[in-house]
Structure 1
Amino acid sequence: MSNKEKWIDLAKESYSKAYVPYSKFPVGACLVTKTGEVFTGVNIENASYGLTNCAERTAIFKAVSEGHLEFQHLVVAGETDEPISPCGACRQVLVEFCKADMPVTLVSKTGDLKETTIAELLPYSFTDEQL
């Protein structure tokens, strides 16, 4: 089994831990550091919907809080018919912490894959260069 297949399995397995009592829409993410460490994340809902945190941001925040700032791959998996796509807020956070050419694998509930990059997810992104 390749590393990427392991990462896909971890993302899919992690969404069973999602806290989604309102939407019933679990999402899992697997973020891999440049050194090969893996951080999973799930979406965590709140009755005040704006306070909900997505799986991608959970994985990034876990990694950054442990001192990791360089990443090599992200996998996002969800119970969707088509490969799941990160929301706009997640895309902006990804741009903050990941290189534009970093690979991203999006996975559907049936295992269909969409390969993309950070730059393709958020073209014309807002970065520190605009500050």
Structure 2
Amino acid sequence: MDLRTAAIEVQVRAYAPYSGFKVGAAIRTASGAVYQGCNVENVAYPEGTCAEAGAIAAMVAAGETKIAKVYVVADSPVPVTPCGGCRQKIAEFAGRDVTVTMGNLDGVETSLTLGDLLPGAFDAAQMDRA
């Protein structure tokens, strides 16, 4: 499945009754499988979840842990980037060279590597005290 199509398909199902800002995300894994996620708001801010986090959770629940490519879409004038927390979540499962494409419903897209989106990411090497 095409990542843009998968992200748009799930974006319309986002639960965003408070902001009205629906976001969809699609992740392709190293195996070629595609996982989708959408934002889910909660009246008790900030208890909602981001689209990227939902896609990652679906990926992990399916037993996969290697992200090969990410696509994020929103109905916005310009493509929106993943929030800082989601950039770190993506970094847990993707290398710095993984492409993250951000798009809007008008077809405008921007692509960056994860390394460009999150320079200086916190990683497991920083936890090694050896």
Q: Could you state the TM-score of these two structures normalised by the residue count of structure 2?
A: 0.94
Q: Which runs of 5+ in 1 are unaligned?
A: none
Over residues 54-107 of structure 1, what are the superposed CA-to-partner deviations in whole Å (9 max), with x where a residue is unaligned? 000100011012110112110000011111111011011111111110111100
- Is 1:19 matched up with 2:1? no
Partner amino acid, structure 1, of 2:28: V
Large movers: runs of 4+ above 6 Å: none
3-state SS of paired residue (2:54): helix
Q: Which has the higher helix share?
A: 1
TM-fit CA distance, 1:109: 2.4
- Is 1:46 matched up with 2:68? no
Match of 2:113 in 1: 117
Match of 1:101 in 2: 97
Match of 1:86 in 2: 82
Work out the CA distance in 2 between the residues paired with 1:22 and 1:63: 27
Q: Which runs of 5+ in 2 are unaligned?
A: none
Q: CA RMSD in A?
A: 1.0
Q: Could you state the TM-score of these two structures normalised by the residue count of structure 1?
A: 0.93
Number of aligned positions between the proteins: 127
